[in-house]
Amino acid sequence: MEDPSIDRSAFNKKKPDGNRANGTWGKGKKDRSGPPLQKSGGRSGESSGDDSLRLLPNSVEAEKGVLSCMLQAPKAAIGETVERVTANHFHVPAHQVLYELIIEINESGKPVNPVSVQQTLMDREILDQVGGPAAVLDLFTFVPTAAHLSFYLDVLCEKYILRNIIESCTNCVTFAYGNQENVEMVLDEVERVVLGIRGEDKAKLKSMSDLVMEAIDEIEEMVANPGSLNGLPTGFSELDKMTNGLHGGEMFILAARPSMGKTSFVMNIVETLAVDNNIPCAVFSLEMSAKQLVQRLLCSRARINMLSLQSGMMRQSDIQNLTRAARELSAATIVIDDTPSISILELRHKTRRFRDQFGIKAIAIDYLQLMRSTSKRAQENRQQEIAEISSGIKGLAKELDIPALVLAQLNRNPEGREGGKPRLSDLRESGSIEQDADIVGLLVRSEYYAGDAEEKEEVAGEAELIIAKQRNGPTGEVSLSFLKQFMRFETRAWEEGEGGGN
């Protein structure tokens, strides 16, 4: 008799490094001494008590160094500077004016030098605001060479981040004093603000010309690669053709009645993303345990009957397939959180942490109606609670620029229709789900509503995903096959005479 044991060494995976997000803010040498303590006459960011009042962190020398490099070597320095900082990075108002003016002169095609800058300031009658003609000439000669621009930019960015931290924390203190009755909401807001500092380094509103150029770049890429997906693949060819893949910032609602296979369908998509395309994903499972989900993934990947796995009655070929599937899954980054009845605030907190720790690019939630909101208004009204959860997930997808796959339950209305076909209005408990979603897919299996055994056998395995809403594309039906024994959906292979094909 052959040994049915599984070779575990074949799929051991090194645990992800949880410290990947612990980077530093600057590459240059840091000034550990801090700014001198001075009386500042009640400016923002000051501390009180026994300490002297402090000026906000800044480096006038670094600001002058950056402007000096831009004047000395405009062709090289201006491009590098614009990529890293904005006018807000400069603490001295006169330096903000000079930075914006140098950029403007450069974009107009005129030469950037002390003469052109000084003349433009004179024409606009603002030369005195920057310190007069001598100030411009002093900037030009402030550093001997532009070779150390990167160092000056590092210092500039560090001081800007420190000012942001002080401002954000001051605002958080005020927010905490004013919302003492809702600690979870305060925690979520503080986390959002503090984590936002790291990603705010170059955050700014984009002009229409910038947005148009980005759109043109995407269109040119699509023209250059006709037929290629613009988003993340789902593994279902017909669905990908209809949606052009999953896109960052979008919420994809997958709704169905119980026992239709919602969890299997979304885990098939997660498997395609994480295993076949090496795209890190996070799964929030409120209904099933992480162990159960992994067993489903193994059965689906290895194409092993779930009953055979649970009973232990497997052939040697099944063992080999299971070992292969385990190796492939172990190499993928799928973060599973099976916290029951998770709140929207906790989900947002964990998703941000998973993004920083594992670099996740998509999330799946199973399922929406099992989540809860902690606000007082939501606890008094179930529809209000679902609305807050739905809008919270949509806001999270936009904030992190990732797609959110969200499972949802339908009400009982499909049970009274012939064939059990669901409609958009069947979404349970709140119309806000329909409103917030970018795509709504309604999953139905024909055999579930078959009238007799003969009809059930005839339509066995047939399933449809009805795209009832798509904000940026067409609606329609995607034909699927459900391999029940493997807990797996696949694009249905058209038989001759059905009038279509893949």
- Give the active site residues: 287
Residue 172 vs residues 176, 190, 209, 310, 399: alpha-carbon distances, Å: 6, 6, 35, 51, 19
Sheet order of strands, 439-445 included: 334-337, 281-285, 362-366, 404-409, 251-256, 439-445, 462-470, 476-483, 488-491
User: For residues 442 and 423, what is the distance between their CA atoms, to the nearest angstrom?
Assistant: 7
Amino acid at 70: M
Exposed/middle/buried for residue 248 (C-beta within 10 Å: 0-12, 13-18, 19+): middle
Within 13 Å and on the Cβ side, how many CA atoms surround 152?
Answer: 22
| CB contact at 8 A, 273 and 266 | no
What's the sign of the alpha-carbon dihedral 240, 242, 245, 251?
negative
User: For residues 42 and 483, what is the distance between their CA atoms, to the nearest angstrom?
Assistant: 70
Amino acid at 105: I
